[in-house]
């Protein structure tokens, strides 16, 4: 309310000052203009022989003009003041309303309530300010929800290895477990905790775009062959076949070698976890719209269609019980997406329940490449 009064009073005073200056200007200039006109009339009367009468007429007309002008201006002042008040009222009300809404919104955000939104305002700077305020509130609301979800997820992730560690410690203390067996279990759970911490640190760097990327010209065939050789033993030990699809002649891509292999590794880990014994996974690549597309295809359990838009989100799991049993932390696909986008590509998934899944990502071509060069 204080801002409204200040704004209204300032507008009102400006309008009154303009009227006062108009009043002074009219009082100062109007008689001189009229005096010249009357002088010409008096001269004409003098030429006709009425000098004294002309002078009296001139003085009377000048006095009448000043009295009439002053009366008219004074009579117009109340109406002018009312007009000035109305002119001051409208913008003052609007500015005060916007300031009040912003104050309420900022107070609510300071108290942790990010759900408040300002109503749409006019399409000017004030409306733009309200729009940006709503966007800020929406972003903070999203961050707060993500923070709460992250805390809950991390607590959930830590609960299982910590419970297992407690069980091994109690079993060792009660003499139920031998030191060798307890040490083996404790070491396994410590490794799980270490993997969780490393995954959390990596996904944090990826989402903050603080991962170092060293781009160079790379052969798509060489990348696929290296990933194939790295993972072949793990697939064989589970009884899942790993194949390398025929690779057509492909130009080099511009990417970070270790990060590209890390993306392939995350996708292959995912295929290995969810493909049952006797299944098959395939690596391959093909040209796609000025880029090279890499894919990892499996004959695993598949992903329901409603989950596909969410699988690259941090800690998102289609089946929590199954993924916990298989040891995943739920950030592998998030890391893969972040690394691919950092190298200028994109990633997506296609799947059919009971048939399998296909994950594809692209990498840009090395622009220094020319055919035959």
Indicate whether 58 and 178 sit together in one domain: no
Indicate whether 89 and 132 sit together in one domain: no
Tokens of 120: 């749409």
Report if residue 69 sits inside a domain. Answer: yes
Indicate whether 278 and 327 sit together in one domain: yes
Calpha distance 155→230 (Å, rounded): 33
Indicate whether 360 and 230 sit together in one domain: yes
Report if residue 11 sits inside a domain. Answer: yes
Indicate whether 299 and 228 sit together in one domain: yes
Indicate whether 16 and 47 sit together in one domain: yes
Indicate whether 310 and 357 sit together in one domain: yes
- Tens of pLDDT, residue by residue, the chain (373 residues): 454 566 566 666 666 666 666 666 666 656 665 555 566 666 665 665 555 665 666 666 667 666 666 766 666 666 666 766 666 676 677 777 777 777 888 888 777 777 777 777 666 666 777 788 888 888 888 777 777 777 777 777 778 788 888 888 888 888 888 888 888 888 988 887 887 788 778 777 877 778 888 999 999 999 999 999 999 999 999 999 999 999 899 999 999 999 999 999 999 999 999 999 999 999 999 999 889 999 999 999 999 988 888 888 877 766 654 444 455 566 788 889 999 999 999 999 999 998 999 999 999 999 864 444 4
Indicate whether 324 and 230 sit together in one domain: yes
Give pLDDT, residue 324. Answer: 46
Counting runs of H as helices and runs of E as strands, what totals does the chain give?
Answer: 8, 7
Domain range spanning residue 177? 125-207
Calpha distance 26→31 (Å, rounded): 8
Indicate whether 129 and 95 sit together in one domain: no
Indicate whether 79 and 140 sit together in one domain: no
Report if residue 118 sits inside a domain. Answer: no
Q: How many CB atoms lie within 10 A of CB 290?
A: 9
Looking at the 3D structure of the chain, how many domains does it have? 3
**Positive or negative torsion for Cα 244, 247, 252, 253:** negative
Report if residue 115 sits inside a domain. Answer: no
Kind and range of the H or E element at 282? strand 280-288
Report if residue 120 sits inside a domain. Answer: no
Last residue of a domain, one of 110, 135, 156: 110
């Amino acid at each position: 309310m204080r801002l409204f009064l200040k704004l209204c009073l300032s507008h009102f005073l400006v309008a009154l000052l303009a009227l006062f200056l108009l009043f002074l200007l009219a009082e100062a200039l109007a008689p001189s203009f009229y005096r010249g006109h009357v002088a010409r009339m008096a001269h004409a009367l003098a030429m006709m022989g009425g000098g004294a009468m002309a002078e009296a007429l001139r003085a009377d007309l000048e006095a009448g003009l000043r009295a009439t002008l002053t009366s008219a201006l004074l009579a117009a002042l109340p109406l002018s003041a009312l007009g000035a008040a109305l002119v001051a009222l409208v913008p003052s009300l609007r500015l005060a309303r916007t300031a009040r809404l912003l104050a309420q919104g900022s107070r609510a955000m300071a108290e942790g309530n990010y759900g408040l939104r300002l109503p749409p305002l006019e399409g000017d700077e004030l409306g733009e300010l309200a729009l940006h305020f709503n966007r800020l509130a929406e972003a903070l609301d999203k961050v707060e929800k993500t923070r709460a979800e992250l805390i809950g997820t991390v607590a959930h992730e830590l609960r299982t290895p910590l419970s297992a560690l407690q069980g091994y410690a109690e079993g060792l203390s009660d003499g139920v477990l031998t030191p060798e067996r307890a040490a083996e279990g404790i070491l396994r759970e410590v490794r799980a905790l270490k993997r969780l911490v490393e995954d959390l640190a990596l996904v944090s760097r990826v989402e903050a775009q603080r991962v170092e990327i060293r781009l160079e010209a790379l052969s798509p065939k060489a990348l696929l062959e290296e990933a194939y050789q790295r993972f072949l033993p793990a697939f064989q030990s589970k009884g899942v076949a790993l194949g390398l699809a025929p690779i057509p002649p492909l130009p080099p891509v511009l990417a970070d070698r270790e990060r590209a292999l890390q993306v392939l590794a995350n996708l292959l880990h995912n295929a290995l976890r969810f493909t049952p014994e006797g299944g098959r996974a395939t690596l391959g690549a093909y040209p796609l719209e000025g880029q090279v597309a890499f894919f990892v295809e499996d004959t695993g359990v598949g992903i329901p269609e409603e989950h596909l838009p969410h699988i690259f989100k941090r800690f998102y799991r289609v089946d929590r019980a199954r993924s916990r049993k298989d040891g995943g932390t739920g950030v592998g696909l998030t890391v893969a997406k972040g690394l691919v986008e950092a190298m200028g590509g994109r990633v997506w998934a296609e799947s059919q329940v009971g048939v399998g899944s296909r994950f594809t990502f692209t990498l840009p071509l090395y622009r220094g490449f020319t055919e035959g060069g």
